[in-house]
Amino acid sequence: MKIKHSLFTRRRFLNSMIGGWITAMGAAFLAPIAKFVFLPNKEPDEILLPKSDYENMEPNTVKLFSWGAKPGLLKMNDDRSYTAFVAVCTHLDCNVSYLPDQRKFFCACHDGWYDENGINIAGPPPTPVRQLNVALDGEHFIITKNKGNE
* Residue 69 binds another protein (CB under 8 A): no
Among 2, 4, 11, 147, binds another protein (CB under 8 A): 11
Enumerate residues 6+ apart whose C-beta is below 8 A from 123. Answer: 91, 107, 110, 111, 112, 113
Least Å from the CB of residue 61 to another protein? 36
Query: CA gyration radius for the chain?
Result: 26
* Residue 35 binds another protein (CB under 8 A): yes
Among 4, 32, 52, 79, binds another protein (CB under 8 A): 32
Are 88 and 94 in contact, with CB atoms under 8 Å apart?
yes
- Burial class of 79 by CB neighbour count within 10 A (0 to 12, 13 to 18, 19+): exposed
Among 9, 14, 26, 135, binds another protein (CB under 8 A): 14
* Residues of this chain that bind another protein (CB under 8 A): 11, 14, 17-18, 21-22, 25, 28, 32-33, 35-37, 39-40
